[in-house]
Amino acid sequence: MTGLSNRRSVMTLYTDASDPLGHSVRLVLREKDINSNVVLVPDGTRPEILNDFNPYDTTLTLVDRDLVLYDSHTILEYLDERYPHPPLMPVDPVARANNRQFRYRIVRDLYKFARDIIGEDEVAAATARKAMRDDLMAICPLFLQHAYFMSDEFSLVDICLAPILWRLPSYGIKLGPPGKSLLNYADVIFSRNAFQESLAETDKIFRDES
């Protein structure tokens, strides 16, 4: 595995084309203007080369010379520490712990709902759609108090939440006027140059449903 890694002088990210977690990593790469090669893998396929890198049946994998990472949170924090400008995590230990906890909850809850929504079980999809909308409506007041998620600084929490918000039309979720504060926040994130640069053609279709 080390030999294969050494032949890759440019950082390479493998990710499913429609995976929101992979999109969050792509967004970090663009926010920090990291020279990298992004390999968008069609859904349902997994390159055989990943058998040499990733011991699990997953696609999301970052290869940086001798280093191979396949946990999304580890990848995000590695990129932030390896390329510290602009910083995407706070310096204070308490704030950093809260940042990790917020990301954990977003991935554990909203990303789980997203998987159910696009799944084949229509009952589970309907339940997940309602649960996701309820959770998003519950956090709307937070964006009346801060510019970003529980903070006045853009961070990895926003980077994890943004791909879900971008995909809401394709999930069949409309927040309407009660969700205005969250939708305004989403528009601010979507207007960032890095976010626009992170979009692949496969991402753009998620907004065609609106």
Instruction: Annotate 90-156 with DSSP letters as a single string.
Output: -SSHHHHHHHHHHHHHIIIIIIHHHHHHTSS-HHHHHHHHHHHHHHHHHHGGGGGT-SBTTBSS--H
Confidence of residue 8 (pLDDT cuts 50, 70, 90): low
Range(s) for CATH 1.20.1050.10 in the chain? 93-192
How would you label 95-113 residue by residue, b for 16+ Cβ within 10 Å and e otherwise?
eeeebbebbeebbeebbeb
Please state the rounded mean pLDDT for residues 180-206: 95
C-alpha 166/C-alpha 178 separation (Å) is: 18
67, containing H or E segment:
strand 67-69
pLDDT of residue 5: 42
Render pLDDT for 165-182 as a digit per residue (tens, 0 to 9). 999 999 999 999 999 999
Please state the rounded mean pLDDT for residues 12-28: 95
Render pLDDT for 123-161 as a digit per residue (tens, 0 to 9). 999 999 999 999 999 999 999 999 999 999 999 999 999
Confidence of residue 4 (pLDDT cuts 50, 70, 90): very low
- As its CATH architecture, domain 93-192 has Up-down Bundle (1.20)
Confidence of residue 3 (pLDDT cuts 50, 70, 90): very low
- As its CATH architecture, domain 2-82 has 3-Layer(aba) Sandwich (3.40)
Confidence of residue 44 (pLDDT cuts 50, 70, 90): confident
Name the percent of the chain lying above pLDDT 90. Answer: 84
pLDDT of residue 90: 94
Please give the DSSP secondary-structure letter assigned to residue 13.
E
Phi, psi angles (nearest 5°) of residue 185: -60, -45
Please state the rounded mean pLDDT for residues 4-12: 65
Please state the rounded mean pLDDT for residues 191-197: 97
pLDDT of residue 208: 66
